[in-house]
Every structure is written in structure tokens, then in C-alpha cells.
Structure 1
Amino acid sequence: MKTLTKLLQGIAVAATVAPMAAHSQDLRVLSSWSESYAPVTEVLDPFLEKLEEESGGSMTLTRFGPETVPPFEQLDPVSRGLFDMLFTNGAYHYNDTAVGMSLDALDGTASDLREAGVWDFVDQHYQDRGLKLIAVLYDLNGYHIMLKEPLGDDALSGRRIRGTPIYHPVIEALGGSPVVLPGSEIYPALERGVVDGAAWPTVGAVGFRWFEVADHMIRPSFGQVGHPVFMSLDTWNSLDASTQETIARAAEAYEAEAVENFNQVVSEEEAVLAEEGMTVTELADSYAEQLNEAWYSGVMELAAEQSSEAIATLREMAREAGLAP
């Protein structure tokens, strides 16, 4: 933590001496994942390239990863303008606000969020915290659970499954016992038998080589994975109206492109996993029918513990717009 504090202090001093974002529009982009997570290079980087292209070369964006600031500590330095943009998942800053995390429980595209007013509601919520929502890049393929052994008739009964709190309702609905571990410990935990499986987005097993220690993946998947892109509100307000309009227009257009990019990544990963011997293990219908409701209710109830009023409003908006399963 002392090292991180010194790093952020150094960035703050540099920003004071030469406030690049305000004048040259040279923006620093923080990512919650390294390049081992394929969406960084296959979804985020094309978005950054699009923004640079749409700006006519007047804006450059440089990406930094979790080696710079740990994933769960990234919201604050971006809100304070020490970095200009953030590519993350809402669950990573649950202790600050759970509104972003709730997006993973909804049933719809970013366009649907905009039409229902949910996108603007989330945007305003984060603006009150010093951040401007730029885009919601959705992976509609959602989440799944990887297993060392295939499913039986009793689903996950008696099995220990790695999962942060957001996964617990699904794991428990399938009879499993949740074990909280950071993503970096999934491989050794599976390898040593500390856990019998691990919950994660459907993208990731190839880059992190989890197929070496888990041979099966549960289907159907559940939920959808939101990757909100935020900008420091100070940075946003420092940009001229034309640049703001360019970013907003390009971001809205890219939200649809991102869905296709995620689909391509998932398709490529599934092909590699098949080659490596990982197979699909199907849930019995009686359990599969519980998945989406367990996910939605679990995510929303957990989110309400942190941001009760905002989540109550968002749930009502989602219900009226048909975005709740």
C-alpha cells in the first residue's frame, strides 16, 4: 500500500506540473486486467484506437494495467484525475458503489440501457462520484463455472467452488460451497485441489491456462459481463464540446461493435479449449431453470446492501423496461 501511495503521489505531482489531459488530450487509460485477459487487446484496444481515429489524431490514449494500480483500488485514482479513463467491472469497486455491478444482472444490450434511461441513471450516479460513464461494453456470453470433474445428478453438491460474493447465490443454488479467492489464485487452487471448480466469465480460461487444471465447463452460462468505461469527470470537463461530442458518438457506436468482438473472442477461446480437451458438462433442466433468477436476485440483493436507494430505483427501471429476467 505504501508503494501504491507513493506511485499515486508521483502521478499527482506530474499532473500538477504538466496537466497533459487538459491541454494536449494525451489520456492515461487504466485497465483492471492485463493482456492475459483477451478483451483487453480484442475489445478495449480497438475502442481506444477508434477514439484516436475519430479525434483526427488530436487525442492519444496510453493504456496502463493492474501492475500500476491493483484492480480493486482503481476507482479512486481515476475519480481524482490521476488517470483519465478506466476499463473495469462494477464488482471490482463494490465497496465504493454497487451500481456498476448491478449491470451484470440485467438482460439487454447497452442500447437497451440507453433506451430505458438506465444508462443515463448510471452515468449521473457516477458523476456524483467524480466519474463520467463513457460506454458499457457488454459480453453477452456471460459467466460460467469450470470444474475438475463433470456434473452429476446433484449439480455442485459437496463441491467447493471459487467465487467472489457476486457468484455465491448461483453456487449455493446449485448446492456448492463458495470459496473466496482472487483470480490470481485460481490456477494453483484448482491444481492442488483446494477448490473443485471456479466461477469466471466465459472468457479467460485460455489466457490464464486454466484448461490445464480443469477439464469441464458448465453450460448453460448465466448473466452478462459488463465492462464499463469511465472517464475522470475533471478530465471530461476539461475537453472542449466538440471533443466530448466525438467521444460520446464514437462510444455509443462502439458499444454494438463490442458485442461482436466479445462473441469472436469467445468463439476462438471455445475452439482452443476443445483442442485442449476441455468439454461441456450440462446442468440438469431442474437446475438450469434456476440459474438466471438466482443470478439476478443474488446480484441485486448484494448490490442493495451497499447502494440501497440507487439499486431500488434501478430495479424498478429495469422491471418497467423488461430488462429483468
Structure 2
Amino acid sequence: MTLHTRLLAAGAALLLAAPALSQEARLSVVYSLPATNDLMQSYFAFVEDVNANGAGILQIDLRGGTEILPRNEQMNAVSRGIIDLYFGPAGYYQRQVPELTPLDAAAVPADKLRAAGLHDAIDAGTRERAGVAFLGAMGTGYNFQFYTITEPKIDDDGTMDFSGLKIRGGASYDPMYQALGIARVDVPAGDIYTALERGLVEGIGFTTIGVSSGGWQDFLRYRIFPTWRQGNTIIAANAAKFDGLTEEQRAYLMEMIQKHEMLAYDAAKALEAVDTAALAEAGVQDVVLEGAGAAEVTAAFQDTFWVNVAETLGEDAAAKYRAIIDAANGS
């Protein structure tokens, strides 16, 4: 046996004896908001950061949005392992996976929610029901409020007359809208401009950011305060896929998620200021409800919210989630 042959043989033996190196993981993702939506920019920044620093560890492949998979099929695709990750609002899937619902009652940044145990509690529930791992809350830092085309009618007691108004809102808005007498119209975010243009809605329930980037100030003339809940955009994963990553890969992904939860919070606060300025320039007027008016809007959400959670998940589960949320909101 020549020296060259012996060296090759020795090298082969070392390779066989060495532990197998983990291969770079690749995770596919779909998203339910339009790519131009302001909220998506924090997701895109997250993917860019993960991929730039995760060579040899983990990469994320953006498959696309509703143009490749309809919104109502995206969480099912993640649950079944067809797609690995979901980016977007939790509210679209709260009937399918109601354990996502408690996130709506939060009023503090993601780090406080995680420290209080909300992420773990939601994750346990979504895994059991749908095989979906709850990884991150990207929606702290912005809130929801009403915007209308026509001037709101304010009654003598300071409350706003919402009765019969056709206002855009997702299915998760139902209890609140019913309490206020609103006629909810289900319009995807990407279709709001057309719905306003065609008079299909008289207003929208939407976030405190993203209105001006959608051009909706072309039609909306009034922004109603108070806001009534925090955002609920999330990162969710197929649980089996996530659990099948190596410890290094999971740790890297979660480190990046926790980093970008807070970057998304900061970005949302900055975007709120941008949207406020753009709407003011377009002539959109703020209507600030106070006293009974503010209390009515707040109660319409809070009073119906936990009743709905209890009816869906049971009294014990609702009490567990509420204790976590209350602790986080008070921290």
C-alpha cells in the first residue's frame, strides 16, 4: 500500500469515526398580508437577518403570500407540514386555532409577554390542537382603531352611534362589532382600497399603521380614538418540523425571533408616527371619544373578549390565560 493510499484510507476512517455534521436546515414560509403592507417589512428584515447570519445553520425560503396559497389555507398548510412557517395575523385563524386568541388582550411588548409565560401557554395549546408551534409575537407596538368615511354621529352622552355602520373587520372582531351594533364586512387587507372605492364599506377596523401606505386616506376622513386592542401578527411553525431541528438550529432561530420581536415593536412605533403625519396631511381628522364614549368602545372589546374565550376554550383555560395576560400587562 502506497503512502497516498494509506493516507486516503486513514482519512476515510476518520470521516467514518467522526460524528455526522448537521446539515443546514431550510424552512419554507408563507405570509397572509400583502408584501407592500408596512407590517411585512419587519418580517422581511427578520428573514434577511436570519439568512445573512445563518449560513450552514438555518435558512428561510420565502415562498410568497396569498398569490401562491389562499389566506384561509395557509395555517392548514403549516399544520399539515406542507409549509414550515407562517407570518401574519393570528386573527385569521382564531376559529381554527382558538388558543391564539388570548394574544389579542395583551397591551405590552413581546418580551414582557414571553417573560410572563404567554408564549409557552399559547404554544402548548396550538401544538395540541393543530400541531403548530407558536414561536413569536411580531405585533406588539401597534393597536387597532376605527376609521370612517363619514363624520361620526356622537350622541348627547358622548357615545358614538355605530349602529348599522358597514365596517371592515375580520371574524375575530365579531363579538365587539355585535356589541356596538356594527355590520361587519369581511374584506382582506389587500382589497380594502377597492372596497372603499366601491362603497362596499363605510369604514374600517384596522391597525394604527399601514393606512397611509395602502392609500386608504383617499376615502377615509375620520380616525376614531380610543384604540381597542394590540396587534396580533405572529410567527408560527409546523411543530414537528421545528422540533426536528437540531438544538443549535432551534436556538439560533429563537434568538433571531426574540431579537426581531423587539425590533418589530420599535418599527411599529416609528410607523405610527409616520402614519399619523401622513393622515393629518391628507386631511383625516381625529375624533377622540372620552368618558362614556371611550368606555363603551373599551368595554365592547374587553367585556366580550374573555366571555368569548371562556365559551371557546372553557372557564379554566380562560382564567389561566387571563392571569398571564393581567400579569404581563401589569409588569
Residue 85 (1) aligns with residue 62 (2): no
Residue 151 (1) aligns with residue 155 (2): no
| Cα distance in 1, alignment partners of residues 197 and 161 from structure 2 | 18
1:314 is aligned, of 304, 314, 321, to 321
TM-score normalized by the length of structure 1: 0.83
Residue 260 (1) aligns with residue 266 (2): yes
CA contact 1:84–1:235 (8 Å) conserved in 2: yes
Residue 9 of structure 2 corresponds to which residue in structure 1?
none
| Cα distance in 1, alignment partners of residues 76 and 94 from structure 2 | 12
Residue 61 (1) aligns with residue 67 (2): no
Residue 12 of structure 2 corresponds to which residue in structure 1?
none
Letter of the 1:162 partner, please give it.
Answer: R
Letter of the 1:140 partner, please give it.
Answer: G
Distance 1:57 1:178, change over 3 A: farther
2:275 is aligned, of 269, 277, 283, to 269
CA contact 2:187–2:195 (8 Å) conserved in 1: no
- Aligned residue for 2:123, secondary structure, equals helix
CA contact 1:140–1:224 (8 Å) conserved in 2: yes
Superposed CA offset, 1:186-212 (max 9, x none): 434433444322111122322332211
Larger Rg: 2
Q: CA deviation at 1:65?
A: 0.7
| Cα distance in 2, alignment partners of residues 140 and 121 from structure 1 | 21
CA contact 1:91–1:98 (8 Å) conserved in 2: no
Residue 309 of structure 2 corresponds to which residue in structure 1?
303
CA contact 2:166–2:185 (8 Å) conserved in 1: no
TM alignment of 1:79-118, pairs within 5 A: 79-118=79-118
Residue 39 of structure 1 corresponds to which residue in structure 2?
39
- Aligned residue for 2:138, secondary structure, equals strand
Distance 1:45 1:188, change over 3 A: closer
5+ long unaligned stretches in structure 1 = 1-21
Superposed CA offset, 1:243-276 (max 9, x none): 1111112222222221001112222222222222
| Identical counterparts, % of pairs | 23
Residue 73 of structure 1 corresponds to which residue in structure 2?
73
| Cα distance in 1, alignment partners of residues 328 and 127 from structure 2 | 26
CA contact 1:106–1:296 (8 Å) conserved in 2: no
CA contact 1:90–1:227 (8 Å) conserved in 2: yes
| Cα distance in 2, alignment partners of residues 180 and 37 from structure 1 | 20
Residue 294 of structure 2 corresponds to which residue in structure 1?
288
Letter of the 1:62 partner, please give it.
Answer: D
**What number of residue pairs does the alignment pair up?**
301
CA contact 2:310–2:318 (8 Å) conserved in 1: yes
2:202 is aligned, of 196, 208, 223, to 196
Q: CA deviation at 1:176?
A: 4.1
